[in-house]
Amino acid sequence: MSDVPSRTELSVLGEFGLIDRLAARVELTQKSTIKGIGDDAAVIDPEGLHQVVTSDMLVEGVHFDLSYMPLKHLGYKAIVVNLSDVYAMNATPRQVLVSMALSNRFSVEAVEELYEGMLLACRNYGVDLVGGDTCSSASGSILSVTAIGSAPKEQLVFRDGGQEHDLLVVTGDLGGAYMGLQVLEREKAVFQETGAQPDLAGHDYILERQLKPECRKDIPELLRKLDVRPTSMIDISDGLASEVIHLCKQSGTGALIYDDKLPIDPATYQCARDFDLDPTTVALSGGEDYELLFTVRLEDHDKIKGNPSLSVIGHLTDAREGMHLVDKQGGLHPLTAQGWDAFLKRGADGPGSLSTA
C-alpha cells in the first residue's frame, strides 16, 4: 500500500486552497519585488530601469504532450521559454506571473510537481514568481506565463537595429530540440502500436534540449565582458530561418547565411541522418532551440571569434539582395519561414524543405 502515490482531487482544495498551498512554496529574492502573490496585483519597484514584459502560452496537444513530458520538466520549460525573450532584449528577468488552466485529470500532487519545476527554473535564473491565476479547464491544460525584466534604457537591444555588413551570430547549436521531439514521437508511436518500452538510449543530449531546455542567461553578461554591443537581437525559438527573416524585415536589410557555418551538434546531425532528414533543414527550421541570434558590427569580429558559445553564421546585406542560405557549393537558396507554426500541430509535418533559387 505504501507505494501508491497519494492523489488529492483539485476540487477538494478549491481554487483558494490550491493557491494558498502553492504560494507557501514561493520565496521572494529580488529587491525589486515589493509585493508578490496575495494582493490584487504584484508590485514592482523599477529602480530607475526600463521594464520589458513578454507572455507565452504552452498548450497541451500543441506545445506539449504529457505522455512523454514529465510535469516538473514542463513547469521548468514554461518559465525558460519566457525568460529567453527577456534575454533577447539584453535585459535581466526579475519576475514571472504564471496562469494555469488545469485539466480535471490533474491531482493536487500533479500541480505541485508542475509548480516545483517552475520554482526550480525561478531559482536557477534568479526570478520571483509574483502572481498569476489558477483555474480548471474542461479539456486540455494550458500554461500562460508572463515574464518581466529590467535593464538600463541604453542597454536594451531591439530587432530593428541591424545594418548592412553586420555579422549574424548565433549562440549554442541548432536543431537538437527538434530531433529530440522526433525521437519522442517515434517511441510514442512504437509504444502505442506494440507496447514496446521506449528506447531512448544514446539520445541524452537532444532529449534534454527538448525536455529541459535552458536559455542563454550567460550571453548578455558575456557580451558585456567582451565589450560587444549587439546592434540587434532576437530569440530563435520559432526556428532560425524564420527569425532571420523577422530580424531582416525589421532592420530593413537582407541576409546571407552559410550552410557550413551552422552550428549543429554531432548527436543532432547523426539523429537527423537516421531519420532521413537534412540536418541543415532541421537546423534552419526545427525551432524550440532557446538560443539567441544577434548582429554585431564587422569591426567587433575579433572580439567574438573563436568563442565556443558563439558562431558567426553570415552577415546582413542590402535589403534588395533578399535573404538566402549559401550551400556548400556556393548555391543560393531563399530562406523561407518554415518556422514551427502554432496553428499546425507540432510534429505532424517535417520541418519543411529548402526551395532552390
Beta carbon nearer to a second copy, 215 or 277: 215
- Answer for which of 121, 142, 248, 257 binds a second copy (CB under 8 A) is 142
Sign, CA torsion 156/157/161/164: positive
| 97-105, 201-209, 282-290, 302-310 -> range binding a second copy (CB under 8 A) | 97-105
Beta carbon nearer to a second copy, 11 or 192: 11
| 145-153, 175-183, 190-198, 259-267 -> range binding a second copy (CB under 8 A) | 145-153
Which 101-130 positions form the footprint of a second copy (CB under 8 A)?
101, 130
- As measured in angstroms, the least distance from the Cβ of 273 to a second copy is 29
The burial class, CB within 10 Å (0-12 / 13-18 / 19+), for 339 is buried
- As measured in angstroms, the least distance from the Cβ of 101 to a second copy is 5
Sign, CA torsion 186/190/193/195: negative
Size of the site for a second copy (CB under 8 A): 76
Across 60-166, where does the E strand assignment appear? 92-103, 128-137, 142-151
The burial class, CB within 10 Å (0-12 / 13-18 / 19+), for 190 is middle
Contacts of residue 267, defined as CB under 8 A and 6 or more positions apart, other chains included, come to: 176, 179, 203, 205, 206
- As measured in angstroms, the least distance from the Cβ of 76 to a second copy is 19
> What residue type is assigned to position 86 of the chain?
V
Site string for a second copy, 222-261 (x = CB under 8 A): -----------xxx------x-------x-----------
Interaction of residue 349 with a second copy, rule CB under 8 A: no
Instruction: Determine the Cα–Cα distance for residues 33 and 353; give it in Å rounded to an integer.
Output: 46
Scan for cell 531546455, then name that residue.
Answer: 213
Rounded (10°) CA dihedral 123, 125, 127, 128 = -20
Beta carbon nearer to a second copy, 54 or 210: 54
| 121-129, 147-155, 178-186, 203-211 -> range binding a second copy (CB under 8 A) | 147-155
Which 14-73 positions form the footprint of a second copy (CB under 8 A)?
14-16, 18, 34-35, 38-46, 48-57, 59-63
